Amino acid sequence: LAGFFPFALCALILVTTERDMSLWQDALGALRAYGIAILSFLGGIRWGAAMDSDRAARTLLHSVVPSLIGWSTVFMTPVFALAILAMAFAGQGAWDVLSAQNGVLPRWYGRIRMKLTLLVVGALLVSLLAVG
């Protein structure tokens, strides 16, 4: 759950700091960069899980999608990027939870992903409101 801290800190800065301060811009950039990194990490977890699967090729292909979605937000306006990141985290979280329920991933992973997904998407939506 410690991985949620940067999302929370950046959201807090965006909500409590004036837009014309460099800290506000730094927080926005850090939030986007961290979101991209974590989406890539989550895709990597799926890649690792696929290595022990009969459907490895399909899952390996799907596991790259979070990284590509995250990377694409570099070219978007901040509002659009945060919205896309929130949707990507929600989608990845749903995939992980459903996979845990179906026995593809460990049950404990599905439980923690549900909590983290709600927290991260919440922080991204708060940030989106602050930016928009």
Q: Do residues 23 and 60 make contact, with C-beta atoms less than 8 angstroms apart?
A: no
Region 110-115: mean pLDDT is: 96
- Residue 52: pLDDT band by 50, 70, 90 thresholds? confident
Among 41-50, 81-90, 110-119, the range scoring the smallest mean pLDDT is 41-50
Q: Beta-carbon neighbour count of residue 36 at 10 Å?
A: 21
Q: Which residue has the higher pLDDT, 49 or 75?
A: 75
- Residue 131: pLDDT band by 50, 70, 90 thresholds? very high
Buried b (16+ CB within 10 A) or exposed e, 106-120: eeebbeebeebbebb
Q: Is the pLDDT of residue 55 over 70?
A: no
